[in-house]
Amino acid sequence: MSHQRYPSVDPAKEPHAVSLKVLRLSRPSLVSQHPLLAPASSSPSSTSSTTTTTPTIPASLAYQTDAGTNPDPFLLTPILNLPPSFGSAYVGEIFSCTLCANHEVPGETLPALTAAALEPNTSEQTQGAYKKKSIRDVRIEAEMKTPGSSAVQQLSLTPSDPPTTGTAVTGVGVSGGGGGGVDLEVGQTLQKIVNFDLKEEGNHVLAVTVSYYEATETSGRTRTFRKLYQFVCKGALIVRTKVGPMTPTTTAADTAAASEERNNSSSAGGEQKPRKWVMEAQLENCSEDAMQLSRVLLELDPGVHYRDCNWEATGSPRPMLQPGEIQQCCFIVAEDEPGSAVESKDGRIVFGVLGIGWRSEMGNKGYLTTGKLGTRAIR
């Protein structure tokens, strides 16, 4: 995640006593191993011996133990691999990162002078100017700029757990940059966690502002600096939908029953039946990771209901999509009663939105919704 420096708000050109570190929070992945064939022996006895099954050697020598705990034929090892870089951010996932404001300045910011090195007529006020500075009222604010909005969005910050070693503080009462700040001693860190639901593709900019009060025994001033972090959000799923009227298959008996029903309905005043549609959805995994679909459902508007024809209805296992794979889904949408489906002014019947949830290989959750889905009314 690249960042750009923003000019400091205060006019002072001195180095700041507080530094900012931003780290994305992501889960590790399992390391793959590939068993290797044992090297062929060059001894004459091995060439004349009877052909047997060639043994394999573990690809991960670190897990070669006498107890045989290394799963030789298994593809994954017990080793966890931390992400080497920022990675990819996808629509539907939650972007999480930790913000750390560190007081890294040594105990004395001015040259250490003893009383003997000062002039005899030096006043106590001048000696006090050489005392160490204290950092008070440290605050962190975070904002997110999305590609679809010209305004920035203020983000809520979650306080971290209380420190056990005295090297980190939480800043109770700080949320979204508001509330009171905290005081930091040398070596202490103010940590905050920010979560943001990614809903659109494109460039996102995370703006972090740190403000604090720098005080000595004789004076003090408020200092502020700001940093910008830019990252790109990609689409994880491509959703294609198709809606058509449902036409049931007919037999000779159905034709006779339908003609008799038409005769009865014409005499009864032309009673209508609820309309039905078949909606197909094609889900394509366009991300770089495998995903397991956890749920695919319709959030319908009033007046219609649907029947699920997918794995949850049939009792099949949840589908696993590798990068580039496609899953077909099907729903039967029907009116609650004849004419209950709401039609817009342009003659379009709106069903609702399609919600899709998934999990990655390491359990990261993702969820997205489509726009309003529907079809043209047939007159």
Residue 62: the pLDDT is 45
Residue 104: the pLDDT is 80
SS (HEC) of the chain: CEEEEECCCCCCCCCCCEEEEEEECCCCEEEECCCEECCCCCCHHHHHCCCCCCCEECCCHHHCCCCCCCCCCCCEEEEEECCCCCCCEECCCEEEEEEEEEECCCCCCCCCCCCCCCCCCCCHHHHHCCCCCEEEEEEEEEEEECCCCCCCEECCEEECCCCCCCCEECCCCCECCECCCEEECCCCEEEEEEEEECCCCEEEEEEEEEEEEEECCCCEEEEEEEEEEEEEEECCEEEEEEEEECCCCCCHHHHHHHHHHHHHHHHHCCCCCCCEEEEEEEEEECCCCCEEEEEEEEEECCCEEEEECCHHHHCCCCCEECCCCEEEEEEEEEECCCCCCCECCCCEEEEEEEEEEEEECCCCEEEEECCCEEEECCC
Q: How far apart are CA 187 and CA 106, in angstroms?
A: 8
Whether the per-residue pLDDT at 363 is higher than 90: the answer is no
Mean pLDDT of 112-126: 41
23-48 as b/e: b if 16+ CB within 10 A: ebebeebeeebebeeeeeeeeeeeee
Average pLDDT, the chain: 75
Residue 173: the pLDDT is 34
Stronger pLDDT, 332 or 255, i.e. the higher one: 332
Residue 118: the pLDDT is 36
Whether the per-residue pLDDT at 211 is higher than 70: the answer is yes
Banded model confidence at residue 240, pLDDT cuts 50, 70, 90: very high
Cβ atoms of residues 206 and 3 within 8 Å: no
Beta-strand relationship, 89-90 and 220-234: parallel
Tens digits of residue pLDDT in 8-55: 455 557 888 899 999 998 888 877 766 555 566 555 554 454 555 555
Banded model confidence at residue 202, pLDDT cuts 50, 70, 90: very high
Mean pLDDT of 243-256: 63
> Which of 29-33, 138-142, 370-374 is predicted with the least confidence, judged by mean pLDDT?
29-33
Identify any residues that bridge with 343 across adjacent strands, giving them in sequence order: 349
Tens digits of residue pLDDT in 150-200: 888 999 998 754 443 345 554 433 333 344 688 988 888 999 999 999 999
**Residue 262 CB coordination number (10 Å):** 11
Residue 339: the pLDDT is 78
Mean pLDDT of 290-308: 90
> Which of 121-135, 144-158, 222-236, 301-315 is predicted with the least confidence, judged by mean pLDDT?
121-135
Find which of 131-135, 342-346, 368-372 is predicted with most confidence, using mean pLDDT. Answer: 368-372
- What's the pTM value of the predicted model, to 2 decimals? 0.68
Domains detected in the chain? 2-26+85-234 (2.60.40.10), 237-258+273-376 (2.60.40.1470)
Residue 273: the pLDDT is 82
Residue 330 structure tokens: 């099907």
Whether the per-residue pLDDT at 143 is higher than 90: the answer is yes
The values of phi and psi at residue 146, to 5°, are -100, 155
**Residue 331 CB coordination number (10 Å):** 24
Q: How far apart are CA 295 and CA 367, in angstroms?
A: 9
Whether the per-residue pLDDT at 117 is higher than 50: the answer is no
Whether the per-residue pLDDT at 318 is higher than 60: the answer is yes
Stronger pLDDT, 106 or 348, i.e. the higher one: 348
Mean pLDDT of 267-294: 83
Which amino acid would we find at residue 242?
K
Residue 369: the pLDDT is 92
Residue 41: the pLDDT is 59
Residue 37: the pLDDT is 56
Residue 138 structure tokens: 């440290």
Residue 362: the pLDDT is 80
Tens digits of residue pLDDT in 61-93: 444 444 455 545 566 777 788 877 787 889 999
The values of phi and psi at residue 353, to 5°, are -120, 155
Residue 180: the pLDDT is 65
Q: How far apart are CA 284 and CA 236, in angstroms?
A: 8
